[in-house]
Amino acid sequence: MIDTIFRDNTKLSAAGAWISPGYNSKGKEMRIRIGSTDSDNPKYQNMIEKSTRAYRHFKSVPDDVVHKTMAKAISETVIYEWENIEDNGAIVKYAKKNVYDMLLKYPKFLHWIIQQSERDDLFNDVSLEDDVKN
């Protein structure tokens, strides 16, 4: 069983897992389908590698650069779609540009997405079996 829980599963990461930050003002569940930021997602890994290459010789990278880099990588390679996402009472349609803008606007949202994308339990065969049963 430990092999099922902790092995890399590129197929499940590519399919994505639905997560929810809660409900919008109309009582509809806000849902986001995400992939992993692990080695299961080579597109994410490659984007981070390319985006940070110029800063390799710096002692530190400016916070705004890190935030923009992460927002771009997450919006392009981790968030696959969303439903019922609301900002200030208005529904925000899924588009990579809208995702990027929301991640820049709300740093805690970006941080939460990163935390969720690192959860092994979302991207293993056990969670897939549970989703199928429900």
Domain boundaries, the chain: 6-129
Decide if 92 contacts 106 (C-beta within 8 A).
no
Tens digit of pLDDT at every position of the chain (134 positions): 666 666 666 666 678 899 999 999 999 999 999 998 887 788 998 998 888 888 888 888 888 888 999 999 999 999 999 999 999 999 999 999 999 999 999 999 999 999 999 987 887 765 444 444 44
Maximal CA-CA distance, the chain: 50
Structure tokens at 28: 């509809």
pTM of the model as a whole: 0.82
Decide if 52 contacts 71 (C-beta within 8 A).
no
Distance CA 1, CA 10 (A): 18
DSSP state of 60: -
Mind giving me the DSSP string for 86-134?
A: EETTEE----HHHHHHHHHH-HHHHHHHHHHHT-GGGGSHHHHHHHHH-
pLDDT value for 1: 62
Decide if 44 contacts 77 (C-beta within 8 A).
yes
Sorted by sequence, the CB contacts under 8 Å of residue 3 that are 6+ apart come out as: none
- CA of 90: how far to CAs of 18, 24, 86, in Å? 21, 10, 5
